Structure 1
């Protein structure tokens, strides 16, 4: 039996036929040889029928043949030499092409990312610039509306006081002048009434003068103590404005930092007010 197993297999026989012939010469059944190889009977039959593709990769098939020969005490080298050579690996040309395409896609992705970052920075900077410039204007508009409301209320109160004073003066004049008074008394009363506006006119000596020099465009609004609007509007750069009225004056400036102010010839320091905000103050300044 050993002499038969060591014989060189015929070149005209296939690998499967040689394996089957060795098994039959050893009087070993398919079931018997399948158990130590841990293969099914179907796999043994496919191995002997040269159905190698159904058994898996060529490396596994060679392992089955080597174990098969070991169980039958047959030299496996000549039989394995009859197995076809493994297929050549595919050329890496496609992989190189895929690699170049992947590299190009990665480069494009980095370029797009840098573009998005730059775009986000530009949009953020524009939004910040708009917010910084728009906020003071909104505050100025709001403060201007508040100032107008305060001035309107002040004018209404002053108008009411004037009307009440006129009514009181009229009632006093009616009560003091009666038909029983003589001509001298009537004349004295008339002189007193005539002298009253003269006394008020003498107060004009207490008027004050404000002079403003505008180094840049700025909005201004000024009311005197009687609620009269003595200045209002936007003044251009280089404009010098002089107004006169009864102090104290209510002043609102859009850009106080670009305006030089004097009251009755004396400089007024408004540098303490916050920059980029509406300035509301009273002249003369409270100490």
Structure 2
């Protein structure tokens, strides 16, 4: 039988790993159970008990793992932890980098800026020249004028009688030189006078889209379509015999220049009426 003095002597002689293994076996814990509680791999727990410090990484990590294991089993490793052959905790060494002089930093910054300016100039100058040439050619484009129109700046003198001297016309001074005129053979369009409407003509002016059905005296269809807003129609006397106007409120009907009231012939915004040979309108007879 081993007495307490023998156990204490054995504990004193045992190292960190042996003490931890004895405490684990006395507590009835397996390596897997210790690994789960400490969140360590089983191989790490085995290496701690076998004192295989070289497999556990840096000394600072080995000491931390031993202390965590000892707290779990409530084992005091203070007297043997210092005797264990664990490397000392060495603080990290600070590596001194080469100091860059201030003048060199300023020179490098100026060099980068000069490079950016050079790249911008290489890209922007050709675009500027191309744009400038385009605007110069557009500004010097000569004006064109038809041969049918005489510019206002050119005076035209009438033919003077033989016994009188022709008047001298002095052109008004110009403040700025004008671009030269080029003669164009294209005639200037002149508005044509509208043909007068025949007496008794019936005209339609559409102020909105409207569907029409216009029938001739012989029963043929003169026009049956959707007429767009802004269009007009005119019919000579005897050309139409019957009309149906959809959206009648948007159609203005005139006979010989007089606006005709369509309300007597209108029902649900659809007007139906007949047109006599003289152009007058009348209700449709059923």
TM-score under structure 2 normalisation? 0.38
More helix by share: 1
TM-score under structure 1 normalisation? 0.38
